[in-house]
């Protein structure tokens, strides 16, 4: 699991796949809050390990299409990668919107007024919580799987 | 469209989202055959533009889970990116298996015996054909959309 977490933490971005009501997928790039080099104030907050499960937090605009898609189907996949090293992690699981103001507050970063002009109480500021059900990794010349679907 | 094609051609890998029968997405990395720096013999073959539609070819193992998923639901999304430049393309569309031996032959690369030991007639050698229905790009400080769904 240490290698899985290390690849996640080193990924430049997080790639999120969501599915619409017609079963069509879409991929969007998210700020990779679990990367402590990019978000040093979020180290230990944006990524948490509970056994074989990873909890991760991301931010997006409430008005974005991906929020609408997640409300309709909370099953998502996230991909993290080091393309030049041929390393990648696919984390499958569910994504939920966080409405808890204290948690949203604790994850707020000063520069984000660029995305949410009204600050941490901007109604367009959404925090998404991801809970993994399966983690698949490609590194060290082979696949590695943690967890599994019911 | 030239910028969209340029970002696709410069992407280190292609990230493919497929959906299973339960509506759960999964992401896998594919060799980015449309990258002419990596696959110079495939330049002009692995990516073709027809108006606002892009046709792209990829390769994978017939026995892979993604082939099973595509047979069940041919709707897919592909993501191409330059993470450090905050550029990305999401190409939505459909993926189909190619059984035409002449086409499979024309895309075969010598080094691929690493993946398909029996060569271009290896039953595990699959060529996938992607046809876009929508292209969404993030570059030059904004979103750009080509095509659109019915």
**pLDDT tier at A143 (50, 70, 90 boundaries)?**
confident
Distance CA A33, CA A111 (A): 13
pLDDT attached to residue B147: 77
pLDDT attached to residue B100: 95
| Chain-chain contact of A138 with B76 (C-beta, under 8 angstroms) | no
| Chain-chain contact of A75 with B15 (C-beta, under 8 angstroms) | no
DSSP calls for A37-59: TT-GGGTTTSEEEETTEEEEEEE
Distance CA A16, CA B139 (A): 18
A2-56 pLDDT, tens digit each? 999 999 999 999 999 999 999 999 999 999 999 999 999 999 999 999 999 999 9
- The pair of structure tokens assigned to A28 is 């969007």
Distance CA A64, CA A121 (A): 17
0.85 surpassed by complex ipTM: yes
pLDDT attached to residue B149: 53
Domains of chain A plus CATH, in order, are 2-144 (2.30.110.10)
Partner B, chain A 111-150, Cβ-Cβ below 8 Å = 138, 149
Asked if the model's pLDDT at residue A149 lies above 70, the reply is no
**Which has the minimum average pLDDT: A79-93, A118-132, B101-115, B134-148?**
B134-148
Note whether B71 and B99 are within 8 A (CB).
Answer: no
| Chain-chain contact of A27 with B83 (C-beta, under 8 angstroms) | no
**pLDDT tier at B75 (50, 70, 90 boundaries)?**
very high
pLDDT attached to residue A148: 67
Asked if the model's pLDDT at residue A82 lies above 90, the reply is no
Within 10 angstroms of residue B119's Cβ, the number of other Cβ atoms is 11
Asked if the model's pLDDT at residue B104 lies above 70, the reply is yes
Partner B, chain A 12-71, Cβ-Cβ below 8 Å = 12-13, 15, 17-19, 22-29
A57-81 pLDDT, tens digit each? 999 999 999 999 999 999 999 999 8
- A-chain residues near B15 (CB < 8 A): 15, 27, 79, 81
Note whether A146 and A133 are within 8 A (CB).
Answer: no
- Considering only CB atoms, A75 lies closest to which of B25, B27, B78, namely B25
B4-34 pLDDT, tens digit each? 999 999 999 999 999 999 999 999 999 999 9
| Chain-chain contact of A13 with B83 (C-beta, under 8 angstroms) | yes
How far is CA A25 from its chain centroid?
17
- pTM beyond cutoff 0.80: yes
pLDDT attached to residue B51: 93
| Chain-chain contact of A17 with B27 (C-beta, under 8 angstroms) | yes
- Considering only CB atoms, B15 lies closest to which of A22, A27, A149, namely A27
- The pair of structure tokens assigned to A115 is 């995305």
CA distances from A2 to A6, A7, A51, A140, B24 (A): 6, 9, 12, 13, 26
Name which of B11, B12, B24 to mutate to probe chain A: the one with the most chain A Cβ atoms within 10 A of its Cβ.
B24
Q: Which residues pair with A53 in a beta bridge?
A: A50
Name which of A10, A15, A27 to mutate to probe chain B: the one with the most chain B Cβ atoms within 10 A of its Cβ.
A27
pLDDT attached to residue A91: 97
Mean pLDDT, residues B32-56 taken together: 96
Mean pLDDT, residues A120-130 taken together: 96
**pLDDT tier at B140 (50, 70, 90 boundaries)?**
confident
Answer with the residue of higher pLDDT: A147 or B125: B125
């Amino acid at each position: 699991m240490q290698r899985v977490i290390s690849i996640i933490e080193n990924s430049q971005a997080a790639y999120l796949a969501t599915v619409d009501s017609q079963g069509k997928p879409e991929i969007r790039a998210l700020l990779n809050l679990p990367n402590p080099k990019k978000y040093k104030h979020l180290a230990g907050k944006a990524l948490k390990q509970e056994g074989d499960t990873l909890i991760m937090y991301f931010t997006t605009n409430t008005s974005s299409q991906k929020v609408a898609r997640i409300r309709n189907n909370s099953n998502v996949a996230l991909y993290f990668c080091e393309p030049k090293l041929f390393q990648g992690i696919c984390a499958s699981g569910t994504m939920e919107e966080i409405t808890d103001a204290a948690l949203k507050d604790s994850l707020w970063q000063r520069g984000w007024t660029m995305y949410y002009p009204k600050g941490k109480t901007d109604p367009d500021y959404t925090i998404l919580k991801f809970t993994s059900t399966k983690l698949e990794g490609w590194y060290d010349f082979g696949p590695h799987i943690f967890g599994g679907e019911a």
